[in-house]
């Protein structure tokens, strides 16, 4: 198998790129990146997906985000077929997933849209009906899936990711424990709740850390920068001062829910500041600063 030097370099530097995109999960990224490198080098078991992962950890710590990031980095944009298992908790929902005589099904639709390769993401797998898990076992075992129209889909060029919040409460109570201790106990929780056949077929199980305060502060800065880039695409030049991080953290830090409340706080605070400036007749450009009330942000046009 001949691999271009440019692609080899991309694979070598994959862990560093993923760590730059995702804060606080270096151990998880190193483990996942190894298997991704195997998959891209063709070092996989014939007749199986390129790799299959079970991501365990609390909500908002980056399980889905890592999936989206590595897929876009390696395979390109819009190549994740995301399936929320809370929508498939009853047997009658299987037709929506696999298709019927009248409908192709969500998996087949995603498979066709990705044109040959992608990542199949089963979010919150513990919520799926047992018949959905039967489908998953076929997929993990033979990289094939038969739709409701008897069409056989080949997933040997795909990655498969399962996410679960199993063990999240234990992670919160073990915040001062070593990663190895926490990982072992969370794995035990998952093995009690999920079918053993799943574990036998998964390439790698990864336990994600809870995001501590320092990690969430770093995330806050990145989220503000991202929001300002989004606004730049709308024609608004907003430049944040480093000091705005403290306001975002004070409004968005949540020990249990991870980065999601921080993302919402960053979006709301930045856009509120922009909206107030626009309503005053400004052009929406300036320096983003903490407001004097300590609760919101202020866009200063004089400092643009």
Chain segment 102-125, per-residue pLDDT in tens? 899 999 999 999 988 999 999 999
- Confidence check: pLDDT of 254 > 80: no
pLDDT at 153: 96
Q: Which of 146, 172, 142, 169 is nearest to 158 (CA)?
A: 142
User: Within this chain, do residues 193 and 226 fall inside the same structural domain, yes or no?
Assistant: no
How many angstroms separate the most distant Cα atoms in the chain? 65
> In whole angstroms, what is the distance from residue 247 CA to residue 251 CA?
6
Where residue 100 sits, what CATH number does that domain have? Answer: 3.40.50.300
Q: Which residues contact 61 (CB under 8 A, 6 or more apart)?
A: 24, 25, 208, 209, 210, 211, 258, 259
User: Within this chain, do residues 190 and 127 fall inside the same structural domain, yes or no?
Assistant: yes
User: Within this chain, do residues 138 and 239 fall inside the same structural domain, yes or no?
Assistant: no
User: Within this chain, do residues 198 and 221 fall inside the same structural domain, yes or no?
Assistant: no
> In whole angstroms, what is the distance from residue 182 CA to residue 166 CA?
13
Could you tell me what percent of the chain has a pLDDT over 90? 66
Q: Which residues contact 214 (CB under 8 A, 6 or more apart)?
A: none
Instruction: Look at residues 172, 192, 207 and tell me which one is the last residue of a structural domain.
Output: 207
User: Within this chain, do residues 135 and 175 fall inside the same structural domain, yes or no?
Assistant: yes
Model confidence at 36, pLDDT cuts 50, 70, 90, reads very high
Quick one: tokens of 245?
A: 């991080």
Region of poorest pLDDT, from 51-65, 207-221, 223-237, 264-278: 207-221
Where residue 283 sits, what CATH number does that domain have? Answer: 1.10.8.60
User: CA geometry: angle at 17 spanning 14 and 18, to 5°?
Assistant: 85
- Confidence check: pLDDT of 293 > 70: yes
- Confidence check: pLDDT of 303 > 60: no
User: Within this chain, do residues 229 and 101 fall inside the same structural domain, yes or no?
Assistant: no
What's the whole-model pTM score? 0.84
User: Within this chain, do residues 227 and 201 fall inside the same structural domain, yes or no?
Assistant: no
Instruction: Look at residues 192, 207, 222 and tell me which one is the last residue of a structural domain.
Output: 207
Q: Which of 169, 165, 158 is nearest to 203 (CA)?
A: 158
Domain membership of residue 27 as a residue range:
5-207
Q: Which of 112, 109, 18 is nearest to 71 (CA)?
A: 18
Q: pLDDT tens across 127-143, in order?
A: 999 999 999 999 999 99
User: Within this chain, do residues 240 and 102 fall inside the same structural domain, yes or no?
Assistant: no
User: Within this chain, do residues 199 and 235 fall inside the same structural domain, yes or no?
Assistant: no
Radius of gyration of the chain (CA): 22
pLDDT at 259: 76
Compare 5 and 14 and report the one with higher pLDDT: 14
Region of poorest pLDDT, from 29-33, 59-63, 85-89, 236-240: 59-63
User: Within this chain, do residues 135 and 24 fall inside the same structural domain, yes or no?
Assistant: yes
Region of poorest pLDDT, from 177-186, 190-199, 288-297: 177-186
> In whole angstroms, what is the distance from residue 252 CA to residue 7 CA?
39
pLDDT at 60: 84
> In whole angstroms, what is the distance from residue 201 CA to residue 203 CA?
6
User: Within this chain, do residues 154 and 217 fall inside the same structural domain, yes or no?
Assistant: no
Query: What HEC string does the chain produce?
Result: CCCCHHHHHHHHCHHHHHHHHCCCCHHHHHHHHHHHHHHHHCCCCCCCCCEEEEEECCCCCCHHHHHHHHHHHHHCCCCEEEEEHHHCCCHHHHHHHHCCCCCCCHHHHHHHHHCCCCEEEEECHHHCCHHHHHHHHHHHHHCEEECCCCCEEECCCCEEEEEECCCHHHHHHCCCCCHHHHHHHHHHHHHHHCCHHHHHHCCEEEECCCCCHHHHHHHHHHHHHHHHHHHHCCCCCEEECCCHHHHHHHHHCCCCCCCHHHHHHHHHHHHHHHHHHHHCCCCCCEEEEECCCCCCEEEEHHHC
Backbone angles phi, psi at 116, to 5 degrees: 115, -35
Q: Average per-residue pLDDT in the chain?
A: 91
Q: pLDDT tens across 157-187, in order?
A: 999 999 998 887 777 777 667 878 888 888 8
Beta partners for residue 206, in sequence order:
55
Residue 186 CB neighbour total at 10 angstroms? 23
User: Within this chain, do residues 36 and 125 fall inside the same structural domain, yes or no?
Assistant: yes
Q: Give me the number of domains the chain comprises.
A: 2
Instruction: Look at residues 207, 226, 252 and tell me which one is the last residue of a structural domain.
Output: 207
Under 8 Å between Cβ of 226 and 259: no
Compare 169 and 222 and report the one with higher pLDDT: 222
Q: pLDDT tens across 271-283, in order?
A: 999 999 999 999 9
> In whole angstroms, what is the distance from residue 56 CA to residue 224 CA?
27
Instruction: Please name the residue that has the structure tokens 């692609």.
Output: 7
């Amino acid at each position: 198998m001949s691999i271009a030097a440019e692609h080899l370099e991309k694979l070598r530097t994959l862990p560093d790129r993923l760590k730059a995109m995702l804060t606080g999960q270096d151990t998880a990224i190193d483990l996942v990146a190894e298997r991704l490198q195997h998959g891209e080098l063709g070092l996989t078991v014939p007749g199986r997906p390129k790799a299959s992962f079970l991501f365990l950890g609390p909500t908002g710590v980056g399980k889905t985000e890592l999936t989206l990031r590595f897929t876009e980095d390696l395979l390109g944009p819009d190549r994740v077929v995301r399936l929320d298992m809370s929508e498939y908790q009853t047997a009658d929902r299987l037709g929506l997933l696999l298709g019927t005589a009248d409908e192709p099904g969500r998996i087949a639709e995603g498979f066709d849209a990705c044109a040959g390769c992608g990542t199949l993401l089963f979010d919150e797998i513990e919520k799926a009906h047992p018949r959905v898990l039967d489908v998953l076992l076929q997929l993990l075992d033979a990289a094939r899936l038969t739709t409701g129209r008897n069409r056989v889909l080949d997933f040997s060029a795909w990655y498969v990711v399962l996410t679960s919040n199993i063990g999240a409460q234990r992670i919160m109570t073990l915040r001062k424990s070593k990663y190895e201790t926490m990982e072992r106990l969370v794995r035990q929780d998952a093995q009690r709740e999920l079918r053993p056949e799943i574990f036998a077929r998964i390439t790698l199980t990864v336990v994600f850390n809870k995001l501590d305060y320092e990690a969430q502060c770093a995330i806050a800065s990145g989220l503000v920068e991202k929001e300002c880039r989004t606004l730049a695409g709308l024609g608004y030049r907003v430049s944040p001062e480093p000091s705005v991080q403290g306001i975002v953290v004070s409004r968005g830090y949540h020990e249990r829910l991870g980065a999601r409340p921080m993302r919402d706080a960053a979006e709301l605070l930045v856009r509120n500041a922009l909206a107030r400036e626009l309503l005053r007749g400004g052009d929406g450009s300036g320096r983003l600063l903490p407001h004097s009330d300590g609760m919101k942000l202020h866009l200063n046009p004089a400092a643009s």
